[in-house]
Amino acid sequence: MYIKIHKRFAFILLLVLCGIPLCSQEKWKSGIIKDEFIYNESPFPSVHSATIEETPSGLVTAFFGGEYEGHPDVSIYVSRHANNTWTYPEKVAEGIVNDTLRKACYNPVLYQVPGGELLLFYKIGKNVQDWTGYMIRSFDDGKTWSAPEALPEDILGPIKNRPFLSGNKLICGSSTEDNGWQVHIEFTEDKGKTWRKTAPINSKPWNIIQPSILSHKNGTLQIVCRSQDEHVISAFSKDEGETWSDPIALYLPNNNSGIDAVTLHDGSHLMVYNHVRTKQSAYIDKARTPLNAAVSEDGITWRVAAILEDSPIGEYSYPSVIQSKDGIVHIVYTWRREKVKYVQLDPSQLNNEIIREGEWPE
């Protein structure tokens, strides 16, 4: 006999069958004040790797979209928050190399220069090993953009996450994957006209990429990185990113998926990541779900804060996080490779519970 099941009832039934307490679902949504899609319709079927930034006239987000990741038609799109809504995704960069060759675009990163232009870094290549770094500039908060500027041959720009500005030195967390996974730092002191970089800073056996940069009250910088080593990996610098300590593993798990983190106005830190242990059986193997937020006072001891997505079906990944001048935290991330999700958090309303041995509390 066929029985029609209401979607909400079916979802609740799924949670019960998976052994997930219903009361905990509401608890971990505390602090979420907005949850919406950037768009409902788009000119592309697949999307990934969103980035978000605050400009003088409002929020701007960018992402790459196309047939599928790596397809030559994949381009960079931008959406602006205006009149209480997000604008339709507009193509601002594509991978046309010459009249006969076109490659995919990857990993846009936005950065608003204080009192200056909005920078958009991105990569072009057949694959990660073939990447070339590019950037474009906007002088009207993302409405129009300059012609593409190729970065120097050995410079890729910020690889996934937002740079950190110290004086006039823009400190960019970067990485390569053509000779193992290696992290390095790139610097520009003239808004992208000239560049220099460090040697790789990760010592074996760590395999790490895509660093996020945190700043501490004593002037120390910290990176937190995606890894192939089951944990978020971190290192510290006392000289504005010129040299770094040997990396260490944090208690936070990492399932080989991108993370992002930000230092908040009060000096504490917030990270968005997939809290999935590689041997955890509660979710599909290698799935990028759930998507979580954690907070820390020192960048080493982290406490669980919120769950942004908890469906066992789908991919919720590659977050980008900022805190705007009014104190609100803004997050964008990939939603099942179909859409870009936007979430607002009130950091004062988040949970703050200890993580024991890498396990998310019930």
Q: How far is residue 284 from each of residues 84, 251, 280, 290, 315, measured CA to CA in Å?
A: 37, 22, 9, 10, 10
pLDDT tier for residue 4 given thresholds of 50, 70 and 90: very low
Per the CB < 8 A criterion, the answer to whether 248 and 262 are in contact is no
Q: What is the pLDDT of residue 280?
A: 52
> Average pLDDT for residues 177-192, to the nearest whole number?
96
Q: What is the pLDDT of residue 18?
A: 43
Classified by CATH at the fold level, domain 24-354 comes out as Neuraminidase (2.120.10)
> Average pLDDT for residues 91-103, to the nearest whole number?
96
> What pTM did the predictor assign?
0.92
Using one digit for the tens of pLDDT, what is the confidence trace for 73-94? 999 999 999 999 999 999 999 9
Share of the chain above pLDDT 70, in %: 91
Q: What is the pLDDT of residue 283?
A: 43
CA angle 152, 158, 163 (to 5 degrees): 125
Smallest CA-to-CA distance from 106 within 122, 92, 117 is with: 122
Where are the alpha helices (H) located in 208-339, listed in sequence order? none
- Quote the tokens at residue 124: 């072009």
pLDDT tier for residue 323 given thresholds of 50, 70 and 90: very high
pLDDT tier for residue 179 given thresholds of 50, 70 and 90: confident
- Quote the tokens at residue 196: 């220099």
Residue 267 pLDDT > 90 = yes
User: When comparing pLDDT for 24 and 194, which is higher?
Assistant: 194
Q: Using the structure block, give the residue that is written with the tokens 């895509």.
A: 210
CA 30 from centroid of its chain's CA atoms:
21
Q: What is the pLDDT of residue 232?
A: 97
Q: What is the pLDDT of residue 356?
A: 82
Q: What is the pLDDT of residue 141?
A: 98
Per the CB < 8 A criterion, the answer to whether 309 and 290 are in contact is yes
- Lowest-pLDDT range, 7-11, 141-145, 188-192? 7-11
pLDDT tier for residue 7 given thresholds of 50, 70 and 90: very low
Amino acid code (one letter) for 46: S
- Three-state SS for 240? coil
Residue 258 pLDDT > 60 = yes
What gap in Å lies between CA 268 and CA 131, rounded to an integer?
Answer: 34
pLDDT tier for residue 211 given thresholds of 50, 70 and 90: very high
CA angle 73, 69, 270 (to 5 degrees): 125
Q: Where are the domains of the chain?
A: 24-354
> Average pLDDT for residues 329-352, to the nearest whole number?
97
User: When comparing pLDDT for 195 and 7, which is higher?
Assistant: 195
Using one digit for the tens of pLDDT, what is the confidence trace for 27-44? 899 999 999 999 999 999
pLDDT tier for residue 129 given thresholds of 50, 70 and 90: very high
Q: What is the pLDDT of residue 202?
A: 82
